[in-house]
Structure 1
Amino acid sequence: MMTGFRLNLSPLKEPLGFVKLVEWLTAIFAFGSCGGFSGRNIISLFCGDGKNETLNANFNYPFRLSEVPLIDGNTTLCNRSVSTTHMVGDSASSAEFFVGVGIVCFLYSMAALLVYLGYMHVYKDSDFGPILDFVITAFLVFLWLVCSSAWAKGLQNVKDATDTDGISGTLALCKGTNVTCEVTEYASMRALNISVVFGYLNMFVWAGNAWFVYKETRWHSQKSSSHPGPGRQQVPAPI
Structure 2
Amino acid sequence: MTHPYLLGATHPRVLAHRGLAAPQDGVAENSFAAIAAAHAAGAEYVESDCHVTSDGHVVLFHDDTLARVTGDPRAVADITLRELAQQMEELGGIATLGQALDMFPDIRFNLDVKAEAAAEQVGRLVAGHAGRVLLTSFSDDHRRRALTAASPALPATSPGARTLTRLVVAVALGSRPWARRLMRGVDALQIPERQGRIRVLTPRLIRWAHNAGVEVHVWTVNDISRMRELVEMGVDGIVTDRADAALEALTR
TM-score tier, shorter chain, comes to under 0.3
Could you say which structure has the larger radius of gyration? 1
TM norm structure 1: 0.24
TM norm structure 2: 0.23
Q: Which has the higher contact order (CA 8 A, sep 6+)?
A: 1
